[in-house]
Amino acid sequence: MALGRPRFDPRNQQRGPQIRINHRIRVPEVRVIGADGEMLGVMATHEALRLAAESGLDLVEVNPKAEPPVCKVLDFGKFKYEEKKKAAEQRRKQAVVEIKELKLRPKTDDHDLDTKLRHGRRFIEAGYKVKITVRFRGREIAHPEEAQKQLDYLVHHMEDVANVEVRPSMEGKSMTLIVAPKPAIMQKVAQARAAAEKARQQAEKEGRVLPDAPSSSSLPDDDSDVDDEDDDE
């Protein structure tokens, strides 16, 4: 009976510590856990390999630092699949707060400013931080108070959903600040993500396919052109 299943892809050696299976386990004896979780005790490695092969399973080293190393009888292909699913779920649960940007000019009119405000609120309510940038051209930089008024206006009208994280500052020929969602907003976002993940898992069990959840690409940065006017205004 052939041992050593499944085939080993040498490219996997570059992906971190390698799990040893079957004949790659070269110590003389191991402590064995059966496929049902029962502790079978210490036995010669060749006996453990025979036991795994007779069950149509693999012998997998799960604790190489123990004395002797601990191995488990299991389906290695299924084991790797489950580990991959766990890693994917952990990544989904990580609360990574991305930053979106609103771009203004000191002479942005009231109508456009309100449009920027709506975009900013939408980003915040989706769980993103928002960087607001007012860019100066030509002689505009002599009047930073106009930019400050715009930033004050936006912050005032987002204060129910956002806190100022980085106060206004000059960066070259721009004035910027960053606002972040309030904890209550992030809690709602987390609840929505949890509900979406639960629905995804249920659909997976039922063999259905749900559309992909909205990602950062569905809420693009506010990239309105602020550079299309002459420098000498």
- pLDDT tens, the chain, 233 aa long: 444 444 444 444 444 458 899 999 999 999 999 999 899 999 999 999 999 999 999 999 999 999 999 999 999 999 888 888 888 777 766 656 689 999 999 989 999 999 999 999 999 999 999 999 999 998 898 889 999 999 999 999 999 999 999 999 998 899 999 999 999 999 998 898 888 888 888 887 777 766 655 554 455 556 554 444 444 44
Whether 169 and 207 have beta carbons less than 8 Å apart is answered as no
The predicted structure's pLDDT at residue 17: 59
The full set of domains in the chain, from first to last, is 17-76 (3.10.20.80), 99-184 (3.30.110.10)
Give the pLDDT of residue 202. 82
The DSSP line for 131-187 is EEEEE--GGGGG-HHHHHHHHHHHHHTTTTTEEEEEEEEEETTEEEEEEEE-HHHHH
In sequence order, the 6+-apart residues with CB closer than 8 A to the CB of 219 are 100, 122, 123, 126, 128
* Predicted pLDDT at 193: 83
For every residue of 160-175, DSSP letters joined together read TTEEEEEEEEEETTEE
pLDDT at residue 152, rounded to an integer? 95
